[in-house]
Amino acid sequence: MNARERGPRVSAAAVIRHRLFWPAAVLVLLLLANVFFTPGFLSVELKDGHLYGSLIDIARFGAPLILVAIGMTLVIATGGIDLSVGSVVAISGALSCLWITGLEDQQSVTGVLTAVGVALGLALFLGLCNGVLVAGIGIQPIIATLILMVAGRGLAQLITDGQILTVNSAPYKLIGGGYWLTLPFGVLIVLAVLGITAFLTRRMALGLLIESVGGNAVASRLAGIRSRGLIVAVYAFCALCAGIAGLMISSNVSSADGNNAGLWIELDAILAVVIGGTSLAGGRFSLGGTVLGALVIQTLTTTIYSIGIPPETTLLFKALVVTAVCLLQSPAFREKALNRRRRRPQAAPASADPKVKVPA
Amino acid sequence: MFKRMSALLLVGATVMTMAGCGSGGTTSASQAGPGGGDDKITMGFSQVGAESGWRTANTKSVQESAESAGIDLKFSDAQQKQENQIKAIRSFIQQKVDVIAFSPVVESGWDTVLKEAKNAKIPVILTDRAVDSQDTSLYKTFLGSDFVEEGKKAGQWLVEEYKDSTDTVNIVELQGTTGSAPANDRKAGFAEVIGADPKFKVIASQTGDFTRAKGKEVMEAFLKSNPDIDVLYAHNDDMGLGAIEAIEGAGKVPGKDIKIITVDAVKDGMQALADGKINYIVECSPLLGPQLMDLAQKVVKGEQVPARVVTEETTFTQEQAKEALPTRQY
């Protein structure tokens, strides 16, 4: 277990040492638990020309959370946090549904595209506002985004007039509830956003720059990185992701609910990011870990429904699993737990967690 | 660091699923009616907020029936906050209104302000939601729906529908927000009625938080873990509407392969009922305005009123829904 040597060969120890081993193990464990209670849990069949099964459900219902969490990852990597994503989810869903209900023909593809454009435009604008408050004016991220978190839900309710807006539009339905090439369209959107983000941050220098700003904003600026612009950009990107997630959530049920859409999704997203091994202090991030974290959360939710945990104990069950994941994730905790069993002469310090190597 | 993180996560995990049907701030502005003449009854009404279509219809009903009954209404929106409501009631007392009506945001903590109203000799009527005060002399009457009765009505329809069948009837239930009065009572009333016959089996019951999105998500999971579902009982229309999408996605026909009973009768739900996707809706009517004005007039005149008045509510079958739909107000 000692991280002293790193050989090129893939040994069992190396697999266990991998940052994402524990969240992945919990995910597999959850899935196995489901198979135990529901034997056909892992089966995926073709129904009405699209894939159908519990695994598909997890991906489909988890898609908005994964999107929000991807945006959140980059914000957290700069040492910030965005609490307003839930409100942006509600606003974007509300605005697009309002736009569609105003259309003469709700089935018109151009009309729906305009609605999507308007909603995402507003989301982007709100993200820019967050970014300017944080990077331009220098308000602490948690405060700056808290403003939109509270006010934004009010804005969403203003748009929907406190009602649930119902739309009946086939093109809009596709975004979150439809299928393309047998796959849920929402999952394809997530894959696209994930692909683009991974390319920009891991194949280009952008990821390194973001981590540098998160590690030390002042030093980065002195080194010639425009930290201000970068920070504004990540908040805008995060809001854009939340906007797309909002479209998915409202499209999935063909209605916009200003009160409940995306409620508390910011907490789930932060949780997903943390389970994925991204440090809340900023300076390092892992997109793969975030996706894994979001999948763990969604699988946990699905597990609760399928194995029939009574609603009164749901929260406790969730809390226990999440605590277990977080403890397993902590090298300090693992070190302590192991030390108790076999005393090691040279225990690694708690901060032995190495900075992630970034392929430039 | 990790200690702090896990602490934060615990809090997060606890909070994140506490989405309620009555959460979030609201946007409606308070408005006060114009000062009325001396012979006119003045009513101070403090509403919970404008969190749902149901609530908006409730507000509208109160405002419209006050106008037609010739009652001067001072309307105040508490925006989901008890402190706002207490402030509003105090201001009603200062304005010396003839009667105060309000839908309490929460159940407890009303004794002090209600005593102030009692000392000022202003009668109080509770609407839609009750308070848990021990001293029932603090208010004249409570006008609202009986959630247990609603659950019973749903159960009775089911018993009637399957009276000729001896096979087991597999039921799944989508509960409202955990711990809320409508969720607890609708579950209890339903369970009481179907409990008499062992052929009715609730095979899965889970909260859908009164929302469409959760209703759909939970129903998807139910459909996979229970291949043989005969009946869905949802504690409100919205969860039922979400579940319908899930059932359709599973290649089954809602209303036929799986019979659906819901509570509320909001417009979208009634539309689905008329379309044959829902089989039966138990009404939970927000239109208690006329009854409220009637009670207010009696109370002001000093007439005796019953301590508990149940809102006039009905039930809808698919045929009744088709007839009622064109004139549905909400």
B101: CATH: 3.40.50.2300
B121: left (phi over 0), alpha (psi -120 to 50) or beta: left
Shortest CA gap A275–chain B (Å): 10
Domain total of chain A: 1
pLDDT at B260 over 90: yes
Q: Which residues of chain A lie closer than 8 angstroms to B268, CB-CB?
A: 164, 166, 255
Note the pLDDT of residue A2. Answer: 46
Q: Is residue A162 part of a domain?
A: yes
Residue of chain A nearest B54, judged by CA positions: A163
Say if A302 is an interface residue toward chain B (CB within 8 Å): yes
Q: How many residues does chain B have?
A: 330
Q: Does some domain include residue A17?
A: no
Q: Spell out the per-residue pLDDT of chain A, length 360, in tens.
A: 444 444 455 677 888 778 888 889 999 999 999 999 888 888 898 888 889 999 999 999 999 999 999 999 999 999 999 999 999 999 999 999 999 999 999 999 999 999 999 999 999 999 999 999 999 999 999 999 999 999 999 899 899 887 888 999 999 999 998 999 899 999 999 999 999 999 999 999 999 999 999 999 889 989 999 999 999 999 999 999 999 999 999 999 999 988 889 989 999 999 999 999 898 999 999 999 999 999 999 999 999 998 888 888 888 998 998 898 888 888 888 888 877 665 555 544 444 444 555 554
Q: Is residue A252 part of a domain?
A: yes
Element (H, E) at B83: helix B82-94
For chain B, the domain total comes to: 2
- Same structural domain, B206 and B154: yes
B77 touches chain A (CB under 8 A): no
| Chain B residues within an 8 Å CB radius of A249 | 213
Contact A160, A94 (CB under 8 A): yes
A336 touching B, CB under 8 A? no
| Chain A contact present for B29, CB below 8 A | no
* Phi-psi region at B112: left, alpha or beta (left = phi > 0; alpha = psi -120 to 50): alpha
Residue among A247, A326, A333, A351 with most chain B CBs within 10 A, to mutate: A326
Amino acid at B190: F
A267 vs B15, B206, B221: nearest CB: B15
Q: Are strands A50-52 and A45-47 parallel, antiparallel or unpaired?
A: antiparallel
In A55-114, the residues whose Cβ lies within 8 Å of chain B are: 57, 61
Question: Would you place residue B31 in the very low, low, confident or very high pLDDT band (cuts 50, 70, 90)?
Answer: very low
User: A159, A247, A259, A301: best mutation site toward chain B, by most B Cβ within 10 Å?
Assistant: A259
For residue A6, what are the contacts with CB-CB under 8 A and spacing of at least 6?
Answer: A14
Q: Residue B276 pLDDT more than 90?
A: yes
* Distance from the Cα of residue B130 to its chain's centroid: 12
> Looking at the structure, do residues B61 and B137 belong to the same domain, yes or no?
yes
- Is A313 touching B (CB cutoff 8 A)? no
Tokens of A55: 């695994």
A250 → chain B, closest CA residue: B213
- Shared domain for B95 and B220, answered yes or no, is no
Say how far residue A41 (Cα) sits from the centre of its chain.
24
* Contact call for A260 and B1, based on CB within 8 A: no
- In this predicted structure, what is the pLDDT of residue B320? 93
CA dist B192 → A354, B155, B182, B237, B284 (Å): 60, 8, 15, 21, 19
Decide if B237 is inside a domain: yes
Angle CA A296–A213–A152, to nearest 5: 60
Closest CA to B176 of A86, A250, A311: A311
User: Residue A336 and residue A113: Cα distance in Å, rounded?
Assistant: 55
Which residue from A192, A219, A220, A222 is spatially nearest to A206, judged by alpha carbons? A220
Please say whether the beta carbons of B247 and B259 come within 8 A. Answer: no
Query: What ipTM is given for this predicted complex?
Result: 0.84
Secondary structure of residue B250 in the 3-state scheme: coil
A93, part of any domain: yes
Q: What is the pLDDT of residue A196?
A: 97
In a domain, A20, yes or no: no
Encoded tokens for A45: 């069949």
B51 CB neighbours in chain A (<8 A) are 162, 259
Q: Report if residue A243 sits inside a domain.
A: yes
Q: 3-state secondary structure string, chain A?
A: CCCCCCCCCCCHHHHHHCCCHHHHHHHHHHHHHHHHHCCCCCCCEEECCEEECHHHHHHHHHHHHHHHHHHHHHHHHCCCCCCCHHHHHHHHHHHHHHHHHCCCCCCCHHHHHHHHHHHHHHHHHHHHHHHHHHHHCCCCHHHHHHHHHHHHHHHHHHHHCCCEEECCCHHHHHHHHCEECCEEHHHHHHHHHHHHHHHHHHHCCHHHHHHHHHHCHHHHHHCCCCHHHHHHHHHHHHHHHHHHHHHHHHHHCCEEECCCCCCCHHHHHHHHHHHCCCCCCCCCCCHHHHHHHHHHHHHHHHHHHHCCCCHHHHHHHHHHHHHHHHHHHCHHHHHHHHHHHCCCCCCCCHHHCCCCCCCC
Give, rounded to a whole angstrom, the gap between the first and last alpha carbons of chain A.
28
pLDDT of residue B15: 41
- What is the b/e burial string over B291-314, where b = at least 16 CB atoms within 10 angstroms of the residue's CB? bbbebbbbbbeeeebeeebebebe
Q: What is the CATH number of the domain that holds A70?
A: 1.10.3470
Contacts of A22 in chain B (CB under 8 A): none
Closest residue of chain A to B204, computed from CA coordinates: A308
Go through A218-251 and write b for each residue having 16 or more CB atoms within 10 A of its CB, e for each that does not. Answer: eebeeeebebbebbbbbbbbbbbbbbbbbbbbbb
Q: Is residue A48 part of a domain?
A: no
Q: Are residues B124 and B219 in the same domain?
A: no
Inter-chain touch B13–A322, beta carbons under 8 Å = yes
Domain, as residue range, for B292: 27-144+286-312
Helix, strand or coil, per DSSP, at residue B102 = strand
Given this model, what pLDDT does residue A4 score? Answer: 47
* pLDDT per position as a tens digit, B163-183: 999 999 999 999 998 888 889
Angle, in degrees to the nearest 10, between helices A265-275 and B2-16 = 150
Do B265 and B316 contact (CB within 8 A), yes or no?
yes
Cβ contacts below 8 Å, chain A against chain B, sum to 164
User: B233 has which bridge partners?
Assistant: B173, B261
Confidence of residue B49 (pLDDT cuts 50, 70, 90): confident
Question: Do B225 and A177 count as a contact with CB atoms less than 8 A apart?
Answer: no
Confidence of residue B36 (pLDDT cuts 50, 70, 90): very low
Residue A120 near residue A95, CB atoms below 8 Å: no
Residue B270: inside a domain: yes
The sign of the torsion formed by the CA atoms of A264, A267, A272, A273 equals positive
Domain membership of residue A290 as a residue range = 56-322
- A164, A314, A333: residue with CB nearest B53: A164
Higher per-residue confidence, B245 vs A307? B245
Nearest residue, CB atoms, B2 vs list A163, A302, A332: A332
Q: Do A253 and B225 touch (CB under 8 A)?
A: no
Residue written as token pair 């319908």:
B244
Tokens describing residue A293: 């974290």
- The reply to whether A5 falls in a domain is no
